[in-house]
């Protein structure tokens, strides 16, 4: 198939594009290469993708309505994987407008492109952050998520609402995927594992928020990508049993689905750090700090919907995933352990 992958120079976008290319799809990758984090890392990912003749890159901003419309009109995509977004909970407190421009307006341009050009299925990225103030574990797509704790989460909830609207109005099949704490090789430098690794190797203390009492459903990148590709192949269908008297947030009478993608095994943050220390052969000096504004203490994904519909099963234990990341980091940055 011919597939558009937005955010193709990003962490998840790069790995997803690589998986689609490996199985024989033609991929057009879109990214604006913004400087939210090291652009060199983004360009290194693109260099790998561009070694494949079936990959084309478009330097483009999602909020550029005319450019996005022209791209859809000229390329005739069969399916779209929309992963491009302004990420990060904490940065959304500092720079809120970037999130509205990229995550809300940017998603709207993609929805418009899909509905005007007969795209057969749109899969887009949401986040576990939408669960916000919810405390009932594990988090389920059938729960109400009307209490976000960050603007980042609010913009992603907005994406889910807009996606449902387009599925309902235009019968556009749309699947939303709520990612849970993704990590692995070529990861984002603003994520905990990357920050911890860099600081431990440089002999600097690491900031451990909530005094280390976080539990996270850390999910390895290969498991995330497996879920994305399987969901892309499983075109969203209406739920004929859906009822407006007891509305299910995860399904609809429209061709609309929401799924969690997680490891389904929450890990204590302090254990996560211990495993990293073992891989690096060094101990971390820890600054124990209070819970950060906009953050949530725990996450835990109920992935049974994705298991039932596409046979998704996370397969990478956190011990193995951290080792893979450290091996990549050491090689990429030329570190001697």
**Given the structure tokens 């220390």, which residue do they identify?**
277
Q: How far apart are CA 273 and CA 114, in angstroms?
A: 42
Catalytic, 36? Answer no
Closest by Cα among 42, 73, 80 to 59? 42
Q: Phi then psi for 311, rounded to 5 degrees? A: 75, 25
User: How is residue 1 written in tokens?
Assistant: 């198939």
User: How is residue 56 written in tokens?
Assistant: 């084309």
Q: How many residues does the chain have?
A: 337
Q: How far apart are CA 213 and CA 24, in angstroms?
A: 44
Catalytic residue among 99, 152, 183, 312: 152
Number of Cβ within a 10 Å radius of residue 26: 17
Closest by Cα among 33, 121, 30 to 83? 30
Runs of H (alpha helix) within 137-266:
151-170, 192-201, 221-233
Closest by Cα among 155, 190, 189, 139 to 296? 139
Q: Are 230 and 310 in contact (CB under 8 A)?
A: yes
Catalytic residues: 152
């Amino acid at each position: 198939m011919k597939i558009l992958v937005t955010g193709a120079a990003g962490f998840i976008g790069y790995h997803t594009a690589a998986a689609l290319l490996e199985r024989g799809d033609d991929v057009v990758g879109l990214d604006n290469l913004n400087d939210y984090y090291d652009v060199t890392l983004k360009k290194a990912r693109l260099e790998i993708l561009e070694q494949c003749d079936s990959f084309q890159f478009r330097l483009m901003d999602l909020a550029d309505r005319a450019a996005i419309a022209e791209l859809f009109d000229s390329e005739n995509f069969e399916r779209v994987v929309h992963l491009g977004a302004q990420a990060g909970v904490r940065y959304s407190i500092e720079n809120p407008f970037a999130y509205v421009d990229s995550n809300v307006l940017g998603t709207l341009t993609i929805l418009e492109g899909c509905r005007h050009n007969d795209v057969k299925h749109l899969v887009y990225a949401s986040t576990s952050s939408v669960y916000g103030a919810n405390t009932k574990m594990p988090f389920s797509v059938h729960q109400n998520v009307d209490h976000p704790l960050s603007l980042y989460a609010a913009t992603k909830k907005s994406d889910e609402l807009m996606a449902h609207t387009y599925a309902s109005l235009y019968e556009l099949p749309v699947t939303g995927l709520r990612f849970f704490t993704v990590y692995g090789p070529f990861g984002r430098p603003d994520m905990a594992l990357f920050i911890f690794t860099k600081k431990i190797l440089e002999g600097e203390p690491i900031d451990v928020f909530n005094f280390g009492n976080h539990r996270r459903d850390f999910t390895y990148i290969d498991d995330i990508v497996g879920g994305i590709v399987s969901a892309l192949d499983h075109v969203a269908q209406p739920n004929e049993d859906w009822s407006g008297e007891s509305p299910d947030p995860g399904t609809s009478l429209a061709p609309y689905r929401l799924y969690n993608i997680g490891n389904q095994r929450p890990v204590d943050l302090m254990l996560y750090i211990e495993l990293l220390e073992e891989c690096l052969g060094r101990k971390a000096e820890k600054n124990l700090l209070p819970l950060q504004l906009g953050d949530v203490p725990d996450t835990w994904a109920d992935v049974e919907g994705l298991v039932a519909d596409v046979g998704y099963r996370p397969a990478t234990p956190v011990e193995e995933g951290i080792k893979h990341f450290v091996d990549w980091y050491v090689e990429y940055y030329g570190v001697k352990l």
